[in-house]
Amino acid sequence: MKVLYIYAHPEPKSFNGALKDVAMVTLANMGHDVRVSNLYAMRFKAVLDAQDFRIRARHDIFNPAMEQIHGMSTGSLAPDIQEEIEKIAWADLLIFQFPLWWSSMPAILKGWFDRVFVQGFVVDIAAGKVYQHGLLKGKRGMLVVTCGSPEEMYSPEGVHGDLHRHLSVIEHNILGFTGIEVLPPFIVFGAPALPPNRVPRVLKEYELVLSSLPV
């Protein structure tokens, strides 16, 4: 299986870094072909703007959706966008790993979606190619999320609300919208407060989840 691992955490020595390292070893040992987009290490540009399009459809007004469609059709998207698109096209499975910040993904990952999930590549709204007809149909996606708060705070009755409702914006409205089949997420609650003896067990749990991925 071909796996694209999109990683969004700024500190390699963090618990997130340990999760990523476990994933790299586990997926390699299983014989999967893995590519990584380490967004902070890449210094990935997170802001969609007119500089993303080398050949503009219009110069009098900036319409991002129009420019994405035009850039995709003319092969004139910015090189870093094109590189990520080629990775996605290559992959069977996309794994997105990130810490939950303000009940959502870090800005650098949101910017990756803004810039890389280009209309004309992931969806064709005019032709109705969205959701079950999305252009990424046949691929699978999975979220790996660490939370600062304990599980009870992200329960349906918790003060933050049901975490799965927060993640549904990503799983349904982004991944599902493009036709990606979404696998169950791997979630670590209370990550900063994990006792030292608990950390190896969580890493092992993640290893087992990855080892059981459908191929």
Whole-angstrom Cα distance, residue 150 to residue 164?
Answer: 14
Residue 18: which domain range?
A: 2-211
Reported pTM:
0.96
Q: Which of 17, 40, 131, 160 is catalytic?
A: 160
Q: What is the pLDDT of residue 215?
A: 77
In this prediction, the residues of the chain whose per-residue pLDDT falls under 50 are: none
Structurally, the chain folds into a number of domains equal to 1
Q: Which of 70, 71, 120, 154 is catalytic?
A: 154
Tens of pLDDT, residues 11-37: 999 999 999 999 999 999 999 999 999
Q: Which of 138, 148, 164, 172 is catalytic?
A: 148
Does the active-site annotation cover 176?
A: no
Does the active-site annotation cover 160?
A: yes
Does the active-site annotation cover 5?
A: no
Whole-angstrom Cα distance, residue 85 to residue 158?
Answer: 38
Taking residue 75's Cβ as centre, other Cβ atoms within 10 Å add up to 9
We report the CATH number of the domain holding residue 42 as: 3.40.50.360
Q: Could you tell me what percent of the chain has a pLDDT over 90?
A: 99
Do strands 93-99 and 140-146 pair parallel, antiparallel, or not at all (unpaired)? Answer: parallel
